[in-house]
Structure 1
């Protein structure tokens, strides 16, 4: 599967129905890293009006800003997760375990406010290929960007 931003006719899509979402919160048990409050860019996880989201950067490039239609909440893809690669699932950051558990798994409609950059995603991930899921994203991004 290529980047989610391209429709069948090659036009940029801005609305996606039925996107599987999960949730994560602070802590190594939830986000799979030893640095509990940081995203994949090394910056603090975002809370408030614009929140962090983790995704497969070969489908949802870093910097992709979107709104969940059902809730009106806005997110930016600034994190990754090993269980997300190839799944078309977006993991939404929540500021508490309770909020994370209340979210559970939901299929939602998202509207893209601004697409992120596949080139930036590739630049960031190229130095992180010791990890399998990063290697997979790099391979997909290189293939898409070569066309």
Structure 2
């Protein structure tokens, strides 16, 4: 999210680009997992256009041994396979109207059959972190953040409309990190936004990780 104000005309233009509550058939089919991917032996959660595979018992069990965030989900260090709480958002929500279809890096939010934007605490998942959700085909890229996500391991999935957002709901999934993002780029963007408490918290956490050497491990 960008901390600046847009003119009413620009807000209207950006909001129009968010899309309406209409079916996106080709994208929805491409995002379905399950038998269409040739995967067997998994159980799936299907609501609306989104089908995700249940996390592996071994991944859930590994998380039981870890310290938990306020939602009861595990904190991880540099593990790439994780049991993660996810929520969903869209750019037509009241708290996102002033940003329209732009992410916190100042570029358009993405939603296609190949790549989908996601928001997270950048001190946990730095900007540019890419991951896959078990049972789904698209690659997810962290390019946004939100105040409610700071201090948690929750990832907020971008969706094109409120009906899609409701269809995703809140679900715990298994993710596999494909590539870690950049703490340096995250800190650069946040450094000018520390007047906002959640940005200051992320910035401070990132600097602590960098100074301790933990950030260099996550590559």
1:6 aligns with 2:77: yes
Q: Which has the higher strand share?
A: 1
Q: Deviations over 1:103-134 (max 9, x none)?
A: 00000000111110111111110111111100
More helix by share: 2
> What count of residue pairs does the alignment treat as equivalent?
138
Quickly say closer, same or farther: Cα 1:38–1:90, change in 2 above 3 A: same
**Which residue of 1 is the match for residue 81 of structure 2?**
15
Which structure is larger by alpha-carbon Rg, 1 or 2? 2
Cα deviations across residues 55-108 of structure 1 (Å, max 9, x unaligned)? 000000000011111323321000010000011100000111111100000000
Q: Does 1:126 align with 2:191?
A: yes
Supply the distance in 2 between the matched residues of 1:132 and 1:33 (Cα, whole angstroms): 20
Which whole-Å CA distance do the structure 1 matches of 2:142 and 2:111 have between them? 13
Cα offset, 1:135, TM superposition: 0.3
User: Cα distance, 1:5 vs. partner?
Assistant: 6.8
Task: Give ranges in structure 1 of 5+ residues lacking alignment.
Answer: 8-12
Alignment RMSD (CA, Å): 1.6
Show structure 1 runs of 4+ deviating over 3 A.
Answer: 4-7
CA distance in 2, matches of 1:78, 1:22: 15
* Aligned match for 1:26, one of 80, 87, 91: 91
The alpha-carbon deviation at position 47 of structure 1 amounts to 1.0
SS in 1 for 2:128: coil
Aligned counterparts of 1:138 and 1:35: Cα–Cα separation in 2: 21
Residue ranges of structure 2 left out of the alignment (5+ in a row) = 1-66, 68-74, 213-219
Match of 2:50 in 1: none
Bigger relative contact order, structure 1 or 2, given CA contacts below 8 A and separation 6+? 1
Q: For structure 1, which segment, 66-75 or 94-103, has the greater mean C-alpha deviation from structure 2 after superposition?
A: 66-75
How far 1:28 sits from its partner (Å)? 4.5
